[in-house]
Structure 1
Amino acid sequence: MVMALLAVVFAAVLQFGLIIHVRNTVIDAASAGARHGALADRTPADGADRTRDLLASSVPGADQAEITASLSEGPVPTVTVTVRTQMPMVGFITGPVDVEATGRAYRFD
């Protein structure tokens, strides 16, 4: 009985670690895409493409991620890249976990 409980606790800790890893990877990809899109010779769409490439090479199933990029005009133009995706839970009854991250970068021309 103790082994079964330990197995469930181990699986839960492993799943939590996987969720945190994917979340951190999505945050990093969104930030890198925003920085890429904020370069002087780039557009926000280039930043979204860069984010898509980074996610495709690091997170399985990221091809279904919803990636949006925008440029807000103001005193300091800001490129914003937002990523929304789902990560399936492994071995549990609950549904997929929604992961959303936003990266911002100032555009200096």
Structure 2
Amino acid sequence: MVSVLVVVIGMGVLQLALVLHVRNTLVSCASEGALLGARLGAQPGEGAARTRDLAQRSLAAAYSQDVTQTTVTTPDGVQVVEVTVVAPLPVLGLLGPSGSLTVHGRAFLESQR
């Protein structure tokens, strides 16, 4: 009986580690894409394309399906490039039913001085 409990707790810890790995990887990809999209002379959508490429290389193609890039203005008047990734949240390993996970990456728009 104790061994079953240990296995269930161990599987729960592994599942949590997988979800955190996917989340942290997507945050890193979105941040890198935002940095590329915010540089001086960058083309519209360049950051989103970079984020898609990084997510496909790091995780799988399913995690890079819904990537958007927008330029937003903060309440202080500062413009930032924001890359948003909506990806499936792995519930049973990398397979199985899942919810969704939304992460954002932001970078200061270099064209403003």
- The TM-score, its normalising length taken from structure 1, stands at 0.86
Q: In 2, distance between residues paired with 1:59 and 1:42?
A: 26
Q: In 2, distance between residues paired with 1:72 and 1:88?
A: 30
Q: Which residue of structure 2 aligns with residue 88 of structure 1?
A: 90
Query: Runs of 5+ in structure 2 lacking a partner?
Result: none
Q: Which residue of structure 2 aligns with residue 23 of structure 1?
A: 23
User: Secondary structure at 1:43's aligned position in 2?
Assistant: coil
1:10-89 equivalence runs, <5 A: 10-60=10-60, 61-63=62-64, 65-72=65-72, 75-89=77-91
User: Secondary structure at 2:110's aligned position in 1?
Assistant: coil
Aligned length: 106
User: Secondary structure at 1:62's aligned position in 2?
Assistant: helix
* Deviation of the 1:42 alpha carbon: 0.8
Contact 1:76 1:108 in 2 (8 A): no
Contact 1:31 1:103 in 2 (8 A): yes
User: Secondary structure at 1:89's aligned position in 2?
Assistant: strand
**Which structure carries more strand by proportion?**
2
Contact 2:19 2:90 in 1 (8 A): no
Q: Which residue of structure 1 aligns with residue 107 of structure 2?
A: 105
Query: Runs of 5+ in structure 1 lacking a partner?
Result: none
* Deviation of the 1:102 alpha carbon: 0.7
CA distance change for structure 1 residues 3 and 85 in 2, over 3 Å: closer, same or farther?
Answer: same
RMSD: 1.9
Cα distance per residue 1:66-106 (max 9 Å; x no partner): 11101235743211110001123117xx9413211111111
